[in-house]
A and B are shown apart, each in its own frame.
Chain A
Amino acid sequence: MKLEKGKISSSQLMYLMTGFILGSTLLLSFVAPITKQNTWIAILFGGAAGLILVYITSTLAMKFPEKNLVLILETVYGRYVGKIISVLYILFFWMLITFNVKGISDFFVTLIMPETPDIVFIIIIVLLCGYAVSKGLEVIARTSLLLVSIFIIEVILIFILLYKNLDFTNLLPIFDISLSKLVQGVHTITAIPFGETVVFLFITGYVSKIEKARKASLSAVVIGIVIFIIISIRNVGVLGNSCCTIRYPSYQAARLIEVGNILERMELLLAISHIAIIFFKITIYYYATTIGVAQVLNLRSNLPLVYPIGIISVIISSIIFVFHLDSVEIGTNTFPIFSLPFVFFIPLVTLIIVNIKEKNKKKGNI
């Protein structure tokens, strides 16, 4: 019984994944206080590690065509253990829905509408994402090209408009960083935007030509790295030393745009494109959570789950962090280590087990 009837092409997978990775743009500021002007190096290494992680997950996806994460885990670990691990994964993704929803509502409450209660933003965003999820994967995939290109155009546009403020000497000295801090920065970058792509094991099953999925995923990661590096170089170049004290560096950088006396106060443009891209991240987690729950409970459809899960997410999001900066604390110190089993160990171990099983089978046949 398949939960999702839609099919997506491999290029749509690439846009989806790019959008998903770029959805962590705001979270890049977690790393800035640690790696300072060397953030782009951390992104480069973190991205390289991300490529390995994506390689592992995409191999896993190709070994089990047309199966999602829950089914993969059930076939590898057996019915009960597989279900337990699946439930853990679902809770992990569910938690990330609430983190990201809270993240974008914090962004708005802190910078744009401080007197509005954050529950308003939370409800609107969850409602929007719930609507997208209820329309199915094909619809989400079709919006991806448009929204991702809006975001990329915005990044390039702001880079050009800020070019006269850029001071590339702010990036010097290169590699002036202790090894432990670099490792911490690389770890955070690997975990937050790139490692989380493990959620795509719920989506790769629906790609029409599964053999192209790996290439699409890897190119999405490469696009993600390039855009992140552009963003981090722009922020450090424009903001200098302050970059590591500012919570939303991209937004502050966009505030500095001043071309003549005409192009000023462009920061809302940036806020709009950020909503578009974070919408993606939340929608994909949301989708994965509904599909996962439906699969674990052996339901025929994930649609009845969309709004209940949404309501619970709204409630959790609104109570999850009382103090806004708690999310920074968790993002830098707790989350990268907490997510390690989900994004790295379990996929790796699963892949190894699958390989051993296959070898045994071959031997048995001979």
Chain B
Amino acid sequence: MRKKCILIMNIIIFLICLSGCWNRRELNTLAVSIGIAVDLTEEREPYKLTSQIVLPSRTEKESNSTKKPYYNLMSEGKTLFDALRNATHESGRKVYLPHTKVLLIGEEAAKRGIVKYLDLFSRDHETRPNLKIIVVKGKASEVLEIESKIEKVPAFSLDKLTEMQKATSQSTVVNLLEFNNNLISKTTEPTCGVIEVNKKNGNKVVEMYGTAVFKGEKLVDYLDDVETRGFLWIKSDVKSGIIVIPSTEENEKISVEIIKEKTKIKTEIKENNIEFTIRIEGDYNVGEFVSDKKINNSETLELIREGVEKVIILEIKSALNKAKDLNTDIFGFGEKVHKKYPKEWSSIEEQWNMLFQDIKVKYEFQTNIHGAGTVSNTAIPRN
């Protein structure tokens, strides 16, 4: 009898204590943030934070299309965390971070030093290390206001935009973890994606291309789309994209699509010269080939192959030159030397900035042209 009493008491205690979480948060008490933009202003409370809150009830298909399915919650504070909490002056719900997809940082803020904007997001338990970091040319909060024609919520459209960048490989997509890794590294400089607001046909549109280059924690310059592809070739991060081989006397321009690519980099120190051999193994398909020649003879294929390699070399060179101009080792060459030659590294480390200026780069290619689409010859008028 006594045992049964104790058992029943235990069951009751556990039922009461363990049936729910202490700080449970129901959906109707949360403001689920999906995108955050930070800007620096000249006012007394300089940190301006805009978090895009999704309003789930309005995202349904039947709902009235005049009502926006999101709300931009703006707040200011002395620090970023202060600003985030100050949002509760306006909203009855606390901003809930785990679903944040993108962190937009205004150009001005990034130029002054980005670390103080990132620390909160690496420290907080709610944010995830795969939060995407993007620098906005201009004001970051503006981007969250521009609705795309296809997606209803700007932050979701930005997230999809970053996913789609692999189709051209002309912009970098970097998450918080990768950015921090490069910040911590002694030689590698961090990079991240860039967004720009442009006007097209009188409408504002958000466009993503290029790369923001940092030196230490400060934004110094941007790579354009060609340089960015060159940068990604070295990082072995080119997923897809179109290579346009310029026209010659005999041929029109040829477009070749990148199917698969892998870059291997060999590092060597030869008589105080640091030499990198970049070997690019790639599979390509011909997408456009306007010519009366047959594509399946070895001469034409050789021509295409050479053309592809030339374009790649040009892209890589443009990226390298830009990086040397800025004196930023964004490629992680320093880390590669460190990993291959740990003993020599201690003497190299201090003068790496100088040595980076005159590194030598050699190219090797294995270019496989696989297909040429559904026709064998171009449909052109016969003479």
Contact = CB atoms under 8 A, between A and B. Distances in A.
B184 A242 contact: yes
Contacts of B184: 241-242, 245
Interface in A108-133: 110-117, 120, 124
B339 A173 contact: yes
Nearest to B23: A115
B342 A173 contact: yes
Interface in B157-183: 177-178, 180-182
Contact of A176 (B130, B180, B185, B342): B342
B341 to A, nearest CB: 8
A240 interface: yes
Contacts, number: 57
A113 B18 CA distance: 14
A245 B178 CA distance: 13
A114 B125 contact: yes
B129 interface: yes
Contact of A173 (B128, B177, B181, B338): B338
B129 A116 contact: no
A243 B129 CA distance: 12
Interface in A227-280: 239-242, 245, 252, 255-256, 258
Contacts of A241: 180-182, 184-185
A113 B342 contact: no
Nearest to B13: A127
A133 to B, nearest CB: 17
A169 interface: yes
A256 B23 contact: no
A175 interface: yes
Interface residues of A, number: 24
B342 A114 contact: no
Contacts of B21: 113, 116
Contacts of A120: 22
Interface residues of B, number: 21
A116 B23 contact: yes
Contacts of A252: 129, 177
Nearest to B21: A113
Contacts of A169: 339
B180 A255 contact: no
Contacts of A116: 21-23
A111 B125 contact: yes
B130 A172 contact: no
A78 to B, nearest CB: 43
Given A114-B125, A175-B342, A242-B181, A255 B22 contact: no
Given A239-B177, A252-B129, A256-B130, A113 B339 contact: no
Given A173-B338, A241-B181, A242-B184, A256 B22 contact: no
Q: Which 9 pairs show the lowest CB-CB distances between chains A and B? A: A115-B23, A173-B342, A116-B22, A172-B339, A241-B184, A240-B181, A241-B181, A176-B342, A242-B180
Interface of B: 17-18, 21-23, 125, 128-130, 177-178, 180-182, 184-185, 338-340, 342, 345
21 contacts: A110-B125, A114-B23, A116-B21, A124-B18, A172-B339, A173-B339, A173-B340, A173-B342, A173-B345, A239-B177, A240-B181, A242-B177, A242-B181, A242-B184, A245-B180, A245-B184, A252-B177, A255-B130, A256-B128, A256-B177, A258-B130
